[in-house]
């Protein structure tokens, strides 16, 4: 039995989506990072970083959501899995790309547009973060002008990993008017039935005093 530790409002959603796409039964341990549950000795024994998600599959314990999804695709196969070693490399490439090029400015934009409590939002910081997203989004726009999905004609783990990171775009209103191919692709990905839990974020958070503190809150 697979066990997933994490809360749907965290990066654990990415793994929940993958497990549902694959039709794999799993036990969900709803570990909420907002209440200190990720800092207990029991959770630190599973993920010593004190973060979520963490996945246990038999004797294997994994953390890092995008790596977990790549493992699940490799281990259990199915239509989302890479068809060959070249597709596996490309799925890894896009997963690293979204983590290094998109996630940080997107988190900063989303926080200042909606996620911070109203008095802690900064419109100038939101605009700056959106400008930083322009370069990677133009890379993606150019790529999707040639293909409907990141690896070709079908939805794969590469699309799931990238779009799961980008769920904050429709939630918080980060503009995509200049990137119509990206917008259409993201809609297709997030309309999949297994992705349904991405929508309901109903909480706000106080603004930390530093940028490092901002990023540390999104575990």
- Give tens-digit pLDDT for 64-92: 999 999 999 999 999 999 999 999 999 99
Question: What pLDDT is recorded for position 219?
Answer: 45
Question: What pLDDT is recorded for position 4?
Answer: 96
Question: For residue 203, how many other CB atoms are within 10 A of its CB?
Answer: 9
Question: What pLDDT is recorded for position 41?
Answer: 87
- Closest Cα to residue 109, out of 142, 84, 131? 131
Domain topology for 85-217: Glutathione S-transferase Yfyf (Class Pi); Chain A, domain 2 (1.20.1050)
Biggest distance spanned by C-alpha atoms of the chain: 50
Model confidence, pTM: 0.90
Determine if the peptide bond prior to 100 is cis (ω within 30°).
no
Question: What pLDDT is recorded for position 39?
Answer: 86
Question: What pLDDT is recorded for position 44?
Answer: 84
Question: What pLDDT is recorded for position 133?
Answer: 97
Laid out side by side, the sheet with 60-63 consists of 26-29, 2-5, 54-57, 60-63
Tell me the domain boundaries of the chain.
2-76, 85-217
Pairing of strands 26-29, 54-57: unpaired
Domain topology for 2-76: Glutaredoxin (3.40.30)
Residue with tokens 């196969």: 77
Spans of the chain, pLDDT less than 70: 197-207, 209-219
Question: What pLDDT is recorded for position 9?
Answer: 80
């Amino acid at each position: 039995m697979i066990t997933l530790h994490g809360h749907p409002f965290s990066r654990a959603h990415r793994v929940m989506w993958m497990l549902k796409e694959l039709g794999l039964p799993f036990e969900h341990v709803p570990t909420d990072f907002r209440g200190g549950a990720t800092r207990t000795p029991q959770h630190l024994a599973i993920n010593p970083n004190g973060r979520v998600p963490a996945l246990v599959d038999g004797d294997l314990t994994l953390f890092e959501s995008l790596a977990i999804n790549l493992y699940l695709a490799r281990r259990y196969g199915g239509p989302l899995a890479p068809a060959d070693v070249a597709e596996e490399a490309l799925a890894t490439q896009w997963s690293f790309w979204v983590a290094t090029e998109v996630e940080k400015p997107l988190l900063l934009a989303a926080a200042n547009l909606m996620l911070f409590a109203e008095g802690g939002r900064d419109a100038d910081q939101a605009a700056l973060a959106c400008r930083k997203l322009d370069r990677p989004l133009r890379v993606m726009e150019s790529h999707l002008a040639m293909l409907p999905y990141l690896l070709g004609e079908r939805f794969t783990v590469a699309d799931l990993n990238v779009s799961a990171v980008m769920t904050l775009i429709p939630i918080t209103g980060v503009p995509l008017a200049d990137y119509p191919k990206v917008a259409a692709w993201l809609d297709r990905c997030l309309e999949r039935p297994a992705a349904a839990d991405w929508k309901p974020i109903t909480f706000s958070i106080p603004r930390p005093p530093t940028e490092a503190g901002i990023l540390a809150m999104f575990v």
